[in-house]
């Protein structure tokens, strides 16, 4: 296998997304190879011993590393501006491993309360079962982060923009508080995508993604990734992943690796369309509230201008008439499909209160901002006019 293409920081991000991390085999293939193999053979028992001891470079077993998975990790790390990345089977495996890798019994975690349902389960229900106390705060209130800190606080965790409310948190300010109290900040950056926001530059210690979303972008594979400094990954993440095995399949890594090449094209277009759609719907009589990061009426517009290079491919809409109104709207759509994925080439819409957030009590949902009329719209690659026509037609039926 030939050497990796050089990690030349003078190349632009789009260029690195096409070339970074490529490992060419002896055949000189143009498109990166899919190494669908569990393991590797060794020239000698001595070579095998040296690999296991880490004294000789090379691959061992796909639970720890695989050439195709490694190409994906190198490429996303380069784009994120991270020293190291580790791929996982799903986004939730990345979130769980990042938090488990940092915490042990007796520790405490503070998290923003506006979270994706599964993230909230891990923080508020799973970690406490292992002796890790958790406190959920209003992430937009910096005094709430400070006030929740205890001597044993080791981790801060947040999503920004949050799923599904698109609430935005001042990452640099929260990172500053984390540093002051000696906690590590983990940011779930799914909703901004790797294109629009760089939490590590804003002071976070670790970024996690569900690669299932914009990174795949075409609704095919599950995947996740954990990014941070080499030291962070080695100290907190490497051994946990290696020994517990929430590994990304080489096949999924190959799909996701090739998808990275088109990520900026897709996310730029989807964001541009989402901004036009948001403007077209704002003020509509059947919409009680529209939240779009990128519009001046977003509650955290000033923070967005500071920390995000672009808006979002997602729009949150509160439809008149609660659940009944939202369901009439969803059922009247003809082009936009009802589905719980996001970041897809196909525009998708979901009703969080009865899907991603259905397992919570009405009080918990209210605290997270998930009302009965809230719908989350993920804008795809269709023509803007077709989407707006579909949405306006469906709103008439509410």
Ligand X SMILES: *Cc1c(COP(=O)(O)O)cnc(C)c1O
Tokens in use for 167? Answer: 């609430």
Cα angle 330, 336, 339; round to 5? 70
Verify binding: residue 90, ligand X, rule CB under 6 A: yes
Distances 61 to 35, 224, 233, 256, 274 between C-alpha atoms, Å: 12, 19, 19, 20, 42
* Nearest distance, CB of residue 221 and ligand X, angstroms: 9
Candidate residues 119, 204, 241, 275; the one interacting with ligand X per rule CB under 6 A: 119
Task: CB nearer to ligand X: give 70 or 210.
Answer: 210
Which token pair is 271?
């964001």
Nearer to ligand X, 22 or 118 (CB): 118
Report the residue number, 93 or 333, with the smaller CB distance to ligand X: 93
Site for ligand X in 190-209 (CB under 6 A): 190-191
Q: Check binding of 352 to ligand X (CB under 6 A).
A: no
Query: Which CB sits closer to ligand X, 116 or 145?
Result: 116
* Of 362, 298, 357, the residue nearest 167 (C-alpha): 298
CB of 343 to ligand X, least distance (A): 8
CB of 208: closest distance to ligand X in angstroms?
8
Residue 87 touches ligand X, criterion: CB under 6 A: no
Q: Which is nearer to ligand X, 222 or 233 (CB)?
A: 222
Residues 126-185 that bind ligand X (CB under 6 A): 159, 163
Give every CB contact of residue 398 below 8 A, 6+ residues apart in sequence.
286, 319, 320, 321, 325, 328, 329, 332
Pick from 107, 170, 188, 216 the residue near ligand X by CB under 6 A: 188
Task: For the chain, give percent helix, strand, coil, nearest 5.
Answer: 40, 15, 45
The alpha-carbon radius of gyration of the chain (Å, integer) is 21
Sign, CA dihedral 250-256-259-260, equals negative
- 374 three-class SS: strand
Q: Which residue is nearest to ligand X (CB)?
A: 91
- Give the binding site for ligand X (CB under 6 A): 90-92, 95, 116, 118-119, 159, 163, 188, 190-191, 210, 212-213, 222, 224
């Amino acid at each position: 296998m030939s050497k990796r293409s050089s990690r030349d920081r003078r190349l632009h991000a789009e260029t690195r997304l096409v070339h970074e991390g490529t490992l060419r085999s002896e055949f000189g293939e143009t498109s990166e190879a899919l190494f669908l193999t569990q393991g590797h053979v060794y020239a000698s028992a001595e070579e095998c011993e040296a690999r296991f001891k880490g004294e000789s470079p090379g691959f061992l077993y796909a639970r720890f590393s695989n050439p195709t998975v490694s190409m994906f990790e190198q490429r996303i790390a380069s784009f994120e501006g991270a020293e190291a990345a580790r791929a996982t089977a799903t986004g939730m495996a990345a979130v769980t491993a990042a938090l488990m890798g940092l915490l042990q019994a007796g520790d405490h975690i503070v998290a923003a309360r506006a979270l994706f349902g599964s993230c909230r389960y891990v923080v508020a229900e799973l970690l406490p079962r292992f002796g890790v106390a958790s406190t959920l705060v209003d992430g937009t209130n910096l005094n709430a982060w400070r006030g929740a800190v205890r001597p044993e606080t080791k981790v801060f965790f947040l999503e920004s923009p949050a799923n599904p409310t698109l609430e935005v948190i001042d990452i640099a300010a929260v990172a500053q508080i984390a540093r002051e109290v000696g906690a590590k900040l983990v940011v779930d950056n799914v909703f901004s995508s790797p294109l629009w926001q760089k939490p590590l530059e804003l002071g976070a210690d670790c970024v996690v993604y569900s690669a299932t979303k914009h990174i795949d972008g075409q609704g095919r594979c599950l995947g996740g990734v954990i990014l941070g400094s080499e030291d962070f990954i080695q100290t907190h993440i490497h051994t946990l992943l290696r020994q517990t095995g929430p590994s990304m399949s080489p096949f999924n890594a190959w799909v996701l690796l090739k998808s990275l090449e088109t990520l900026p094209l897709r996310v730029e277009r989807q964001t541009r369309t989402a901004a036009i759609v948001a403007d077209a719907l704002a003020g509509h009589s059947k919409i009680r509230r529209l939240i779009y990061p990128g519009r001046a009426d977003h509650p955290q517009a000033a923070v967005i201008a500071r920390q995000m290079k672009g808006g979002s491919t997602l729009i949150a809409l509160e439809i008149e008439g609660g659940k009944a109104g939202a369901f009439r709207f969803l059922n009247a759509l003809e082009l936009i499909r009802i589905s719980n994925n996001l970041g897809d080439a196909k525009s998708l819409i979901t009703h969080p209160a009865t899907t991603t957030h259905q397992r919570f009590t009405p009080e918990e949902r209210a605290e997270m901002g998930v009302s009965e009329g809230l719908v989350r719209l993920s804008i795809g690659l269709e023509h803007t006019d077709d989407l707006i026509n579909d949405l306006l037609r469906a709103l008439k039926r509410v």
